Chains A and B, each alone.
Chain A
Amino acid sequence: NAGVMQNPRHLVRRRGQEARLRCSPMKGHSHVYWYRQLPEEGLKFMVYLQKENIIDESGMPKERFSAEFPKEGPSILRIQQVVRGDSAAYFCASSLQAAGPYEQYFGPGTRLTVT
Chain B
Amino acid sequence: AQTVTQSQPEMSVQEAETVTLSCTYDTSESDYYLFWYKQPPSRQMILVIRQEAYKQQNATENRFSVNFQKAAKSFSLKISDSQLGDAAMYFCAYRRIGNAGNMLTFGGGTRLMVKP
Q: Which residues from chain A sit less than 8 Å from chain B, CB to CB?
A: 31, 33, 35, 41-45, 48, 56, 59, 89, 91, 93, 95, 98-101, 103-104, 106, 108-109, 111
Contact = CB atoms under 8 A, between A and B. Distances in A.
Nearest to A33: B103
Interface stretch (B66-74, B77-85, B106-114): B106-114
A108 B44 contact: yes
A98 B91 CA distance: 21
B104 A43 contact: yes
Nearest to B45: A106
Given A42-B91, A99-B97, A100-B97, A59 B103 contact: yes
Interface of B: 4, 6, 33, 42-45, 47, 50, 52, 91, 97-109
Contacts, number: 56
21 contacts: A33-B102, A35-B106, A42-B4, A42-B6, A45-B103, A45-B104, A48-B103, A56-B101, A59-B103, A91-B45, A95-B102, A98-B99, A99-B98, A99-B102, A101-B33, A101-B50, A103-B47, A106-B44, A106-B45, A108-B42, A108-B43
Contacts of A101: 33, 50, 52
B108 A42 contact: yes
Contacts of A100: 97
B37 to A, nearest CB: 8
A99 B95 CA distance: 10
A84 B15 CA distance: 40
A11 to B, nearest CB: 14
A56 B103 contact: yes
B91 A43 contact: yes
